[in-house]
């Protein structure tokens, strides 16, 4: 289906019966949709259904028709995610171009679509002379994921800059939630399951584009030096326990380079897992659990997963 700028009619294979009314929807509906190409690890099974809404109204209409009858999961860049090999039940929502806008307002607030990437948000902010969100350059993912997970890097996190966000709830209801309602803690929010973040507003401050750009370059270079960016990985695997660094605990437990099937603990940064080429999601998740056991055995500290694991084993 080519993109001519108009909203397409929902496409679904003729032979597949939808468990909901797809008539008149304008997005793209795919049954038994492969998710491995959409996630950084390049592993995992299919979604029962994948819906790529044409715009906000189309998303609301689609969810209203589902009416809470099946699980809903939003998928961003797939950077912080293990999709298990058995696939994802229900519907996966993927926000496209219509949700990837970023606008800088006069009051130094950035109006961002839920599908906009961290690189796009920080770049638009730089061009508009809005400082304070440079750290988003260092987080792989989209606004929707940052808001849900309280994404952070280089000493800053979304809780520091979020004003509020617009969310579509699983039954199609549209609500605006102030930052306080998300009850942010480290890499966690109180956002309801199945809620799709369609836009958010971040508060910046006046800055000089050249200085903002220099800080973004510093962050990009620091990532390049320390993280295995050119591999099939999923970002930071474990949360940092209070007063500790996860990578140091993993390293001290002797896990650097450890493997399971086609999965490996990165030699470059031990809080990253890598698909060396033929890993399954079970290999990757199993390796993570092996690491957690070893770290607990050495230190008595239980590492918590930062990567989301979803779907059927």
142-173: b (≥16 Cβ within 10 Å) or e: bbbbbbbbbbbbbebbbbbbbebbbbbbbebe
d(CA 37, CA 43): 8
Q: What share of the chain is helix, strand, coil (3-state, %, to 5)?
A: 30, 25, 45
pLDDT in tens, 27-59: 999 999 999 999 999 999 999 999 999 999 999
Phi, psi of 119 (to 5 degrees): -65, -45
Mean pLDDT of 177-192: 96
Specify whether the CB–CB gap between 58 and 25 falls below 8 A: yes
Predicted confidence band at 141 (pLDDT cuts at 50, 70, 90)? very high
What percent of the chain stands above pLDDT 70?
A: 95
Residues forming the active site = 187, 236, 306
CA angle (297, 153, 292) in 5-degree steps: 15
d(CA 159, CA 206): 19
pLDDT in tens, 291-302: 999 999 999 999
Confidence (pLDDT) at 6: 35
Specify whether the CB–CB gap between 177 and 189 falls below 8 A: no
**Which tokens belong to 258?**
């450890």
pLDDT in tens, 79-102: 999 999 999 999 999 999 999 999
pLDDT in tens, 270-290: 999 999 999 999 999 999 999
Predicted confidence band at 183 (pLDDT cuts at 50, 70, 90)? very high
Confidence (pLDDT) at 1: 34
12 pLDDT more than 50: no
Predicted confidence band at 16 (pLDDT cuts at 50, 70, 90)? low
Higher per-residue confidence, 309 vs 194? 309
**Closest CA relative to residue 69, chosen from 145, 172, 198, 197:** 172
d(CA 115, CA 32): 22
Rounded to the nearest integer, the mean pLDDT of the chain is: 93
CA distances from 67 to 49, 170, 196 (A): 15, 7, 14
């Amino acid at each position: 289906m080519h993109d001519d700028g108009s909203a397409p009619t929902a496409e679904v294979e003729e032979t597949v019966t939808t468990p909901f009314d797809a008539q008149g929807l304008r997005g793209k509906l795919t049954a038994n949709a492969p998710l491995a190409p959409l996630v950084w690890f390049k592993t995992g099974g299919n979604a029962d259904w994948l819906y790529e809404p044409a715009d906000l109204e189309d998303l609301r209409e689609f969810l209203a028709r589902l009416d809470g009858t099946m699980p809903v999961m939003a998928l961003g860049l797939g950077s912080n995610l293990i999709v298990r090999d058995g696939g994802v039940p229900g519907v996966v929502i993927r926000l496209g171009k219509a949700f990837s806008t970023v606008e800088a307002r006069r009051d130094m607030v950035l109006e961002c679509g839920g599908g906009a990437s961290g690189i796009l948000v920080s770049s638009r902010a730089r061009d508009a002379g809005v400082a304070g969100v440079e750290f988003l350059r260092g987080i792989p993912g989209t606004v929707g994921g940052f808001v849900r997970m309280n994404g952070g890097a280089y000493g800053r996190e979304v809780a520091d800059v979020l004003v509020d966000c617009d969310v579509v709830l699983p039954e199609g209801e549209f609500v605006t939630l102030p930052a306080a309602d998300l009850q942010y803690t480290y890499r966690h929010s109180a956002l309801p399951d199945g809620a799709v973040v369609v836009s958010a507003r971040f508060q910046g401050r006046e800055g000089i584009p050249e200085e903002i750009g220099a800080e973004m370059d510093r962050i990009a270079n620091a990532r390049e030096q320390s993280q295995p960016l050119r591999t099939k990985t999923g970002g930071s695997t474990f949360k940092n326990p209070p007063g500790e660094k996860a990578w140091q605990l993993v390293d001290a437990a002797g896990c650097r380079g450890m493997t399971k099937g086609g999965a490996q603990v990165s030699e470059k940064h031990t809080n990253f897992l890598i698909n060396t080429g033929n890993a399954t999601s079970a290999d990757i998740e199993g390796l993570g659990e092996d690491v957690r056991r070893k770290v607990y055995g050495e230190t008595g500290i239980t590492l918590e997963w930062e990567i989301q694991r979803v779907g059927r084993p």
